[in-house]
Homo-oligomer: A and B are copies of this chain.
Amino acid sequence: MENFSQWFHNILEEAEIIDSRYPIKGMSVWLPNGFKLRKHIIDSLKKILDKDHDEVLFPLLVPEDELAKEGIHVKGFEDEVYWVTHGGQKKLNKKLALRPTSETGMYPMFSLWVRSHIDLPMRFYQVVNTFRYETKHTRPLIRVREITTFKEAHTVHATKKESDEQIKEAIKIYKKFFDILAIPYTISKRPVWDKFPGADYTMAFDTLMSDGKTLQIGTVHNLGQTFAKTFDIAYETAESTYEYVYQTSYGLSDRVIASVIGIHGDEKGLSLPPEIAPNQVTIIPIIFKKGGEEVLAKCVEIKTSLESNNIRVNIDNRDIRPGKKFYEWELNGAPLRIEIGPRDLENNKAIIVRRDTSEKIKMDLSSDYINTIKNLFEDITQNMKSKVWEKLEDSIVATDNLDNIKNLIADEKIVSISWCGDEECGKSIEEITDIDILGTQSSNILIEDSGNKSKDSSNKDDENDSKNKKCIHCEKEGKYTALMAKTY
């Protein structure tokens, strides 16, 4: 894509996703089309989370003293917290923060809720708006001041082991979710200077946007006992002693929606994976002067039968040229379009057109076409997935020469290096190259991950095994494979 930034700006407007003309910088309006897309993405995630998480809803505002309790945490957020200072004409006794994230709002309550080991584990999530006073250049859905779609999960465990297991579980959940969205990702452990403020460690999902920059699309934090000690969250063990709990939190934001739009979209507009497309199938009657009623009746018949199979379908019978309809539904990203004209009707056939490949398929209306369509949904998702995964993998290039990094990044690559893991050395690498270290990859994660990768991922395992290599900078033992990228 020539100019991704411009394209992204245009598609949000043309496909009526959001309106960014709201009179506060970094805050936008979800338009009906965009709202539906957002809703289906959220629903798709909820389906996964609801299996063993309870949805809750906490107040937006966090009292200043609660926010300030965890010193490292508040330091990480203090420059970007919005403060409510007045109610009506009156100055409040205590300032109230618009949550930048909800640890400090939730955990005083967790302290009341957690009593005994039999209460554990606890797993909650909420989908809420959070606020960051961003001083950098804002960009709709990517760098915003009101995150409208913050999904945050918070879990509480009796042991460190269980909390580590939960981190793996959360990674599995996010992988499953991103696979549904056909979004490719790297998983890495953020360097210590880039972990979530207050966390023991942070695992992160990054994806690659069309301009070669990576976008953080999900993070998973092991909070250890830091917040438990600060907020006094303790449980009575089976032996009647008291222990602090271990906690994790993991979150996703509007950026997931940005990546669905940005990664699959093309010069025709949006292209949406069937699971989350507001209209999965659009039926377009090709009506000439005569035979119109019969064609429309057939369209309604197909619609009814698709709907009874829980497929989201609409008929576009507006009185405009079919070409204009094709154009609009391609722009809106509907995965399948069905065209039916009088001659098709005579042959009891219809044409299905795939949005992802533009392929036209003859559909026999006397056959089990519901099944055909469901299979097509599956094919489309797989095709979209393998295309973008291939692109991501091709973009990851290993180097053992520090001087190469800048050029590779300029070439829109993600650079894989061998690194000793030392903080000072890492920061020095970032400084010299002016490029961020995304994080380190363990072969463990790569193995789990290989299911999503194309055939050549087995070669990659080799490259990522940095144990035998020297650190790219200090030349000590290379303990980790680290990824470097230009980031959003």
Binds B, one of A53-61, A215-223, A365-373: A53-61
User: Are B88 and A78 interface neighbours, CB within 8 A?
Assistant: yes
Q: How far is the CA of A131 from the CA of B131 in the complex (A)?
A: 16
Query: Is A23 touching B86 in the complex (CB atoms < 8 A)?
Result: no
Q: A109 to chain B: which residues have CB within 8 Å?
A: 19, 21-22, 29
Q: Is A81's CB under 8 angstroms from B88's CB?
A: yes
Q: In the bound complex, how far is the Cα of B96 from the Cα of A18, in angstroms?
A: 21
Cβ of A86: which chain B residues have Cβ within 8 Å of it? 82-83, 85
**CB of A190 to closest CB in B, whole Å:** 23
Task: Please determine whether B32 and A55 come into contact, CB atoms closer than 8 angstroms.
Answer: yes
**Given A83-B86, A84-B98, A108-B23; A29-B59 close (CB under 8 Å):** yes
Q: How many residues of A contact B (CB 8 A)?
A: 51
How far in angstroms is the closest Cβ of chain B from A105?
A: 8
Contacts of A238 in B (CB 8 A): none
A38 to B57, CA, bound (A): 10
Residue of B at shortest CB range from A77?
A: B88
In the complex, chain A residues 62-99 whose Cβ is within 8 Å of any chain B Cβ = 63, 66, 78-90, 96, 98
Question: From A53, which residue of chain B is reached at the shortest CB distance?
Answer: B32
Whether the Cβ atoms of A112 and B146 lie closer than 8 Å is no
Docked pose: A435 CA to B84 CA in angstroms = 35
CA A88 to CA B80, docked complex, whole Å: 5
- Residues in B with CB closer than 8 Å to A83 are 84-87
Q: Is the CB of B146 within 8 A of A59?
A: yes
User: Judging by beta carbons under 8 Å apart, are B21 and A61 in contact?
Assistant: no
Copies per complex of this chain: 2
A30 within 8 A of B: yes
Cβ–Cβ contact A55 & B28, under 8 A: no
- Given the known A-B contacts A24-B61, A24-B63, are A56 and B29 also in contact in the complex, defined by CB atoms under 8 Å? yes
Q: Is the CB of A23 within 8 A of B63?
A: yes
Q: A148 an interface residue at 8 Å Cβ cutoff? A: yes
Report the bound CA distance from A284 to B84 in whole Å: 49
Question: Residues of B contacting A82 with CB < 8 Å?
Answer: 84, 86-87, 96
Q: Do B112 and A21 touch across chains, with their CB atoms under 8 A apart? A: yes
A409 is an interface residue with CB less than 8 A from chain B: no
The answer to whether residues A56 and B27 also contact, given A84-B83, A84-B98, A133-B87 and a CB cut-off of 8 A, is: no
> A100-142 CB contact bits vs B (8 Å, 1 = yes)?
0000000011001100000000001000010101010000000
Q: Does A35 contact B (CB under 8 A)?
A: yes
Cβ of A31 under 8 Å from chain B: yes
Closest chain B residue to A148, Cβ basis: B57
Q: Which residues of B contact A55 (CB under 8 A)?
A: 32, 35-36, 39
CB nearest to A26 among chain B residues? B59
Residues of chain B lying within 8 A (CB to CB) of residue A90: 133
Q: Given A21-B112, A32-B56, output 17 extra A-B contacts at Cβ < 8 Å.
A: A22-B58, A23-B108, A27-B59, A27-B61, A29-B57, A32-B54, A35-B54, A35-B55, A35-B57, A36-B55, A38-B57, A39-B55, A60-B146, A82-B84, A83-B84, A87-B133, A88-B133
